[in-house]
Amino acid sequence: VRIGVIGDGGWGTALALLLRENGHSVRLWGAFPDYVEEVRRSRENVRFLPGVPLPADLSLTSDPADLVEGASLVVSVVPTPYLRVVARRFAPLLSPGTPLVSATKGLEKDTLARPTQILGEVLGESRPCAVLSGPSHAEEVSRGVPTAVVAGCPDGAVRTRVQEVFSNERFRVYGSSDAVGVELGGALKNVIALAAGICDGLQMGDNPKAALVTRGVVEIARLGSTLGARRETFFGLSGVGDLIVTAYSRHSRNRSVGERIARGEALESILSSSAMVPEGVFTTRALGERDAGVDLPIVSELYGVLFRRRDPREAVIRLMTRDLKEEVEG
């Protein structure tokens, strides 16, 4: 199978490598011709996946026409802030039947649109489209560390095809018909990971962090079900699984922003000192400023701490002293 991968970040590159290992003919597209040329020459994506050699038969291109030519599957791994503009470059080139797999995690900053919603708007709604998400540090996948993810697509045949194309003995792909839930999990988990970082920064302990993660999943599942997702999806790999890997990893940007907030740094100074924007911050802002129509106690307190400079310790006490509740809502 010839496959085109759009997006030469760490995750796009790792997925391109995986697909090539699985015997497919793979092209990887990057937006910047100079950088693509550099990667092609050095056979290393030094900025986004350093230390991982790229084999000679993984072709690299910055030409959209080159990427889609002959491709029977296209994988989109473009970060949400650039997704709309990149998709527009591919819109005239992609044949209507070519299935898409979106592996972008995150929502569009102000609209909270999901990546596949953006792709649908730009590329047409009728194209078969799946999402791929789960606990998957790119660097581990590129080293062949065992990883399990979910492919979400309401169409069973497309879903099975995606499972088969990506799976091997170190990369296991479960199927889910709930594409919306799979996609939302990977985005909303960043909000809870940020709160978990605050927990770390306050050096509260293991009990409160586990409680936060567990109740956080309940909260994003509650929100997700009002957005068309199924609750149970959030208790799977793309929800709680991805949240665990983010909340308990040294490397997570969202977690470490929370840690710095808890130590008293102002949000503005954290944001101005880092090149990459931790998207949990913007998702929290967008959620905090609209009426989601459901009870989101953790998100509300996090919004207050981030944007109203409320004391995080007092936020914890407010969360602990709410009315006593049943764990599972009817």
Binding footprint of a second copy on the chain (CB under 8 A):
134-137, 140-141, 143, 145-148, 150, 160, 163-164, 167, 169-178, 204-211, 213-215, 217-218, 230, 232-233, 235-237, 240-242, 244-245, 248-249, 316-317, 320-322, 324-328
* In the complex, least distance from residue 267 CB atom to a second copy, rounded to whole angstroms: 23
Q: Say how far apart CA 191 and CA 280 lie, in whole Å.
A: 5
Which amino acid would we find at residue 121? E
**Beta carbon of residue 242, minimum distance to a second copy (angstroms, whole number):** 7
Identify which of residues 55 and 146 has a Cβ nearer to a second copy in the complex: 146
Query: CB-based contacts of 29: which residues, under 8 Å, 6+ apart?
Result: 4, 5, 6, 7, 8, 36, 60, 61, 62, 63, 64, 66, 67
Where do we find the tokens 């084999």? 55
DSSP string, 162-202: HHHHH-BTTEEEEEES-HHHHHHHHHHHHHHHHHHHHHHHT
Question: Does the active-site annotation cover 189?
Answer: yes
Q: For a second copy, which is the closer residue by CB, 70 or 228? A: 228
Shorter beta-carbon distance to a second copy: residue 59 or 167: 167
> Least distance in Å: CB of 2 to a second copy?
22
Contacts of 3 (CB under 8 A, 6+ apart): 19, 24, 25, 26, 27, 71, 72, 73, 74, 75, 165
Cα–Cα distance list, 298 to 124, 223, 309 (Å): 36, 12, 15
DSSP run (H or E) holding 79: none
List 105, 189, 209, 325, catalytic entry: 189
Comparing CB distances to a second copy, the nearer of 174 and 307 is 174
Instruction: Give 78 or 150: the residue with its C-beta nearer to a second copy.
Output: 150
Beta carbon of residue 246, minimum distance to a second copy (angstroms, whole number): 9
For residue 49, the 8-state DSSP code is S
Orientation angle between helical segments 80-90 and 115-123, nearest 10 degrees: 20
From residue 244, alpha-carbon distances to 69, 139, 196, 234 in Å are 39, 17, 10, 12
CB of 209 to a second copy, least distance (A): 8
Nearer to a second copy, 163 or 283 (CB): 163
Closest CA to 116 of 160, 68, 149, 84: 84
Q: How far is the CB of 301 from a second copy (least distance, A)?
A: 13
Positions marked active-site: 189
